[in-house]
Amino acid sequence: MSPAHAPAPALPPLDLTADVVDLTRALVDLPSESGDEARIADAVARALSALDHLTVERLGNSVVARSDLGRAQRAVIAGHLDTVPAAGNLPSRLADGKVHGLGACDMKGGVAVALRLAAAVAAPVRDVTYVFYECEEVEGERNGLHRIAADRPALLADADLAILMEPSDAGVEAGCQGILTADIVVRGERAHTARAWKGVNAAHKAARVLQRLDDHVPERVVVDGLEYREGLSAVSVRAGVAGNVVPDECVVTVNCRFAPGRSAEQAEAYVRGLFPEYEVRVTEVVPGAPPRLEQVAGLVDALGARPRPKLGWTDVARFAALGVPALNYGPGDPSLAHTAGEYVPVEQLRECEKRLTNWLR
Amino acid sequence: MSPAHAPAPALPPLDLTADVVDLTRALVDLPSESGDEARIADAVARALSALDHLTVERLGNSVVARSDLGRAQRAVIAGHLDTVPAAGNLPSRLADGKVHGLGACDMKGGVAVALRLAAAVAAPVRDVTYVFYECEEVEGERNGLHRIAADRPALLADADLAILMEPSDAGVEAGCQGILTADIVVRGERAHTARAWKGVNAAHKAARVLQRLDDHVPERVVVDGLEYREGLSAVSVRAGVAGNVVPDECVVTVNCRFAPGRSAEQAEAYVRGLFPEYEVRVTEVVPGAPPRLEQVAGLVDALGARPRPKLGWTDVARFAALGVPALNYGPGDPSLAHTAGEYVPVEQLRECEKRLTNWLR
């Protein structure tokens, strides 16, 4: 029997009583590229099922574990199980006070902290819904949290707040900005380049669109005292019919990051208003999440960090869409996410574990 | 035996004594998309080999037939055998005084005229080298005339002038402009679009290049009394890394048409001079052909047409490179080339045949 056809070796069970550093390394050493999370979901579900105070449900390769102690408040603590593809950064390695390896930062360190809480805090002062989900690193339709929100919203919507264990350098990143993507279509008229004056070169005419983008000064919007810095970037320019043809179309794709203060409709009107003389095809618009600091004030105090605005879009917006205020909080430098050299500092793992443990106890 | 495996039906031989209209239709009805010219080359070579006053050579799917009467002057009369792919425009059709069908205009009408001359003028007053060649509609390396010029230059270089049977509405189009293609590279710096200010958007910065192209006023260069109108067109713009990344490179491909007065080096210096602050990668530069009207004055008189400048590049430049003055002269409206509705007017077929016959007799 060839190795390829051998049954997968039995996994050592995840030991949730282990130190958070060992648990992080065990998770890193359990490869789980997006779409291939069955083994890690098995291991997580099995470990959580051994805990008497949690009810565990498996949904695809996502796992939801809920306490049901009748507490006045319920919190979601969520993290994704998948990683981007490996980049020569396996197995895990502990050096210089950091756990190195694929997903250490994004976000197996955060998952390890959450699993430690699940095991160590058997009688939390607030009920907890732990969510470990698949396919965060790929298209939104496959995202495990999206699927739970779509298929089983009640599993999430009864929470009073949510903590997404996104790497945030153990700081609090509140809310998130929205994303709008649109094609701006510049039209011209084809001609043979040997008689270019008979046509209208759409690529030349696109200079106006690109110059307007270059001149554009994005707004800075303050919500709950946090400054969200918007952005409007061309992410693609495409023109060209053939080497001897004056192109009759040039498409500039723009990516707009808009503050949580704006609705999808407002963001769309804003971008259309910048390019009133062009066809603007909006291909994606996803609102962000307001910080709602008042509703998470107790948690923020417990985490001991001054909230910062989250500029990138994260899954906190999915909680916001369900009416659940959410913030990003997790160990690891977010700028290391998706890099071959990603790591998570041991100190931040311990800090996050301690702060959240205290908040739950 | 399936039809696909049946031997090709024997072709009726080309009848070079037939009327030029019938011959044009016979050629149109002999499909010869670029790369698939074996059958038409067979038919042409067989028909020419039957003529005692010509020595016929087959080179790939090109055919060269030379008279050798010791005349003081030698002319090349050349036309390509291939066509662009069919577009529902076969078989040929005669209607409204026009032969319709694939290649009728570009350039089986011209080939028919040349074949008629080869057969009908057995004792021309100037020696003639007839060249019927393959692969004109595809990349230059495959071009039959290019290959003859490269492998057997002596077959062409002993001529005093050349007539390329390009459709020119039975007018004389003298010389041709050169072509330069270059990539103008605009550089920036990548960043996540959620923190776009940390990067430099190369697509935004490309506005300057495109605006400069839009503002550019091409020159009009007079050579031998003919005005060549130059052109500089973006034919492609490419930027884009990913939907959430500020692109660090934008490449604008420009196609420059330059008058025969300029050398390749001058054209290159001209384009580089327009974009001194950018990397300019010249990917192709092919000089044009000077009209050299003095050297073709007798022919021009015989054709009875006032010469016009040829703006597009044609294979006359290959003759110019061999030191042979050449002009474009053939039946058919050049703007119909490569269109599904192409046709050649019967009147122009007869006009071209008559003018060239008189010149050779």
Domain enclosing residue A107, as ranges: 9-175+289-360
Mean pLDDT calculated for residue range A270-282: 98
Confirm whether B113 is domain-assigned: yes
Q: Are residues B155 and B51 in the same domain?
A: yes
Alpha-carbon distance B3 to A313, whole Å? Answer: 61
Last residue of a domain, one of A265, A286, A307: A286
pLDDT in tens, chain B (361 residues): 344 444 455 667 999 999 999 999 999 999 999 999 999 999 999 999 999 999 999 999 999 999 999 999 999 999 999 999 999 999 999 999 999 999 999 999 999 999 999 999 999 999 999 999 999 998 889 999 999 999 999 999 999 999 999 999 999 999 999 999 999 999 999 988 999 999 999 999 999 999 999 999 999 999 999 999 999 999 999 999 888 899 999 999 999 999 998 999 999 999 999 999 999 999 999 999 999 999 999 999 999 999 999 988 999 999 999 999 999 999 999 989 988 999 999 999 999 999 999 999 9
Confirm whether B3 is domain-assigned: no
Strand pairing class (B172-174; B308-309): parallel
pLDDT at residue A2 greater than cutoff 70: no
Amino acid at B72: A
Q: Are residues A52 and A171 in the same domain?
A: yes
**What does the pLDDT look like over A172-223, one tens digit per residue?**
999 999 999 999 999 999 988 999 999 999 999 999 999 999 999 999 999 9
pLDDT at residue A140 greater than cutoff 70: yes
Confirm whether A275 is domain-assigned: yes
Mean pLDDT calculated for residue range A44-53: 97
Confirm whether B2 is domain-assigned: no
Residue of A nearest to B212 (CA): A204
Confirm whether B239 is domain-assigned: yes
Q: What integer pLDDT is reported at residue A261 of this predicted model?
A: 83
pLDDT at residue A67 greater than cutoff 70: yes
Alpha-carbon distance B354 to B346, whole Å? Answer: 12
Q: Are residues A257 and A331 in the same domain?
A: no
**Contact list, B173 vs chain A (CB under 8 Å):** none
A238 touches chain B (CB under 8 A): yes
Q: Which residues of A200-237 are buried (b: 16+ CB within 10 A; e: fewer)?
A: bbbbbbbbbbbbbbeeeebeebebbebebbbbbbbbbb
Q: Are residues B192 and B278 in the same domain?
A: yes
Q: Are residues A192 and A246 in the same domain?
A: yes
Q: What integer pLDDT is reported at residue A5 of this predicted model?
A: 46
Q: What integer pLDDT is reported at residue B261 of this predicted model?
A: 83
Q: Are residues B149 and B206 in the same domain?
A: no
The yes-or-no answer on residue B82 being catalytic is yes
User: What number of H helices and E strands is found in chain B?
Assistant: 11, 19
The pair of structure tokens assigned to B252 is 């604008």
Q: Are residues A202 and A304 in the same domain?
A: no
pLDDT at residue A4 greater than cutoff 50: no
Q: Are residues B170 and B217 in the same domain?
A: no
Please report, in angstroms and rounded to a whole number, the separation of the first and last CA atoms in chain A.
52
Measured CA to CA in angstroms, residue B18 lies from B39, B44, B333 at distances of: 20, 14, 24
Q: Are residues B130 and B224 in the same domain?
A: no
**Contact list, B244 vs chain A (CB under 8 Å):** 235, 255
Distance from CA of B179 to the nearest CA of A (A): 9
Q: How many residues does chain B have?
A: 361
Q: Which residues, listed in sequence order, are joined to residue B153 by a DSSP beta bridge?
A: none
CATH number of the domain residue A193 falls in: 3.30.70.360
Last residue of a domain, one of B286, B316, B340: B286
Stretch 245-284 of chain A: residues touching chain B, C-beta under 8 Å:
245-247, 250, 252-253, 255, 257
Q: Are residues B278 and B356 in the same domain?
A: no
Confirm whether B1 is domain-assigned: no
Q: What integer pLDDT is reported at residue A10 of this predicted model?
A: 60
Residue with the bigger pLDDT between A245 and B111: it is B111
Confirm whether A171 is domain-assigned: yes
Measured CA to CA in angstroms, residue B99 lies from A317, B85, B106 at distances of: 66, 18, 12
Confirm whether A339 is domain-assigned: yes
Q: Are residues B216 and B354 in the same domain?
A: no
Question: Do A234 and B313 count as a contact with CB atoms less than 8 A apart?
Answer: no
Distance from CA of A299 to the nearest CA of B (A): 26
- B41, HSE (Cβ side, Cα atoms, 13 Å): 23
**What does the pLDDT look like over A330-348, one tens digit per residue?**
999 998 998 899 999 999 9
**Contact list, B200 vs chain A (CB under 8 Å):** none
CATH number of the domain residue A106 falls in: 3.40.630.10
Would you give the DSSP letter of residue A10? P
Overall pTM > 0.90: no
The pair of structure tokens assigned to A114 is 């959450």
Instruction: Answer yes or no: are the C-beta atoms of A172 and A331 closer than 8 Å.
Output: no
Q: Are residues A124 and A259 in the same domain?
A: no
pLDDT at residue A7 greater than cutoff 60: no
* Domains of chain A: total: 2
Distance from CA of A111 to the nearest CA of B (A): 24
Catalytic residues of A: 82, 136
Q: What integer pLDDT is reported at residue B9 of this predicted model?
A: 55
For A184: left if phi > 0, alpha if psi spans -120 to 50, otherwise beta; the answer is beta
SS3 A24: helix
Q: What integer pLDDT is reported at residue B319 of this predicted model?
A: 96
Stretch 144-163 of chain A: residues touching chain B, C-beta under 8 Å:
none
Alpha-carbon distance A339 to A84, whole Å? Answer: 9
Last residue of a domain, one of B265, B286, B307: B286
**Contact list, A228 vs chain B (CB under 8 Å):** none
